[in-house]
Structure 1
Amino acid sequence: MEIEFDRQFVLYFVLIPIFLLAIKKFLKKEYFPYFKTSHIFFKKYGFKYWNPEVIGKTLFASSFLVLLIALSGPFENATVKKSLDGEGISIVLSIDVSASMLARDFKPDRLRATKMVATDFVSNRPDDYIGVVLYAGESFTKIPLTVDKQALIKAIDEIDYGLVDDGTAIGMGLATAVNRIKDSHTKSKVIILMSDGENNIGEIDPLTAAELAKKYGIRVYTIGVGTKGYALTPIAYDFKGNLVFENRPVSIDENLLKNIAKMTGGNYYRATDTDALKQIYEEIDKLERSKISEITYNNKKEYFKYFLFPGLLLILSDTLLRLFVFKSFVE
Structure 2
Amino acid sequence: MSGILNIRFWEFEFFAPHWLWLLLLVPFLLWFLWRSEVRKPGEWKYTGTVTTQKKYGSRFIHVIRKVLIVNAGIVLMLLILAMSKPYNWNDHVDNNHDYKNGIDIILTIDISGSMLEMDFQPNRIEVAKKVAKEFVDGRKGDRIGLVAYAGEAYTACPATTDYDVLKKQIDALDCYANIEGGTAIGVGLGTAVTRLRNDSIPSKVIILLTDGSNNMGDISPEEAADLAKAKNVRVYTIGVGAESGGVMTINTPFGVIQQPVESDLDENTLQRIAVKTDGKYFRATDEKSLRGIYDEIEKMEKRKIIDRHFQSEPPAMPQSFLNAALILVVLGWGIPRFLFRQND
Q: TM-score range by the shorter chain?
A: 0.5 to 0.7
In 2: Cα distance, 1:271 partner to 1:148 partner: 28
In 2: Cα distance, 1:184 partner to 1:244 partner: 51
Q: In structure 2, give the amino acid aligned to 1:169.
A: A
The answer to which structure has the higher strand fraction is 1
Higher Cα radius of gyration: 1
2:280 equivalent in structure 1: 267
Q: In structure 2, give the amino acid aligned to 1:170.
A: I
1:108 equivalent in structure 2: 122
Q: In structure 1, give the amino acid aligned to 2:283.
A: R
Contact 2:105 2:145 in 1 (8 A): yes
TM-score (normalizing by structure 1): 0.61
In 1: Cα distance, 2:153 partner to 2:129 partner: 17
Question: What percent of counterpart residues are identical?
Answer: 45
In 2: Cα distance, 1:156 partner to 1:249 partner: 27
Q: In structure 2, give the amino acid aligned to 1:188.
A: S
Matched, 1:88 2:102: yes
Q: In structure 2, give the amino acid aligned to 1:273.
A: D
In 1: Cα distance, 2:192 partner to 2:229 partner: 13
- Change in Cα spacing, 1:267 to 1:82, as seen in structure 2 (3 Å) is closer
In 2: Cα distance, 1:269 partner to 1:82 partner: 31
The answer to which structure has the higher helix fraction is 2
1:14 equivalent in structure 2: none
- Change in Cα spacing, 1:217 to 1:272, as seen in structure 2 (3 Å) is same
1:125 equivalent in structure 2: 139
| Counterparts of residues 130-149 of structure 1 (less than 5 Å) | 130-149=144-163
Query: 1:181 is paired with a residue of what secondary structure?
Result: coil
- Change in Cα spacing, 1:85 to 1:167, as seen in structure 2 (3 Å) is closer
Structure 2 stretches lacking a partner, 5+ long: 2-93, 311-344
Contact 1:196 1:226 in 2 (8 A): yes
Query: 2:195 is paired with a residue of what secondary structure?
Result: helix
Structure 1 stretches of at least 4 aligned residues deviating more than 4 Å after TM superposition = 80-85
In 1: Cα distance, 2:96 partner to 2:202 partner: 21
In 2: Cα distance, 1:147 partner to 1:160 partner: 23
Contact 1:91 1:191 in 2 (8 A): yes
1:46 equivalent in structure 2: none
TM superposition shift of 1:81: 5.3
| Counterparts of residues 171-320 of structure 1 (less than 5 Å) | 171-183=186-198, 185-234=200-249, 236-239=250-253, 244-289=257-302, 290-291=305-306
TM-score (normalizing by structure 2): 0.59
TM superposition shift of 1:138: 0.3
1:53-109 deviation per Cα after TM superposition (whole angstroms, max 9, x unaligned): xxxxxxxxxxxxxxxxxxxxxxxxxxx957667301100000000000000001111
- Change in Cα spacing, 1:201 to 1:83, as seen in structure 2 (3 Å) is closer
Q: In structure 2, give the amino acid aligned to 1:168.
A: T
Using CA pairs below 8 Å that are at least 6 residues apart, which structure has the higher relative contact order?
Answer: 1
Structure 1 stretches lacking a partner, 5+ long: 2-79, 294-331
Comparing 85-94 with 272-281, which one deviates more in the overlay? 85-94
Number of aligned residues: 214
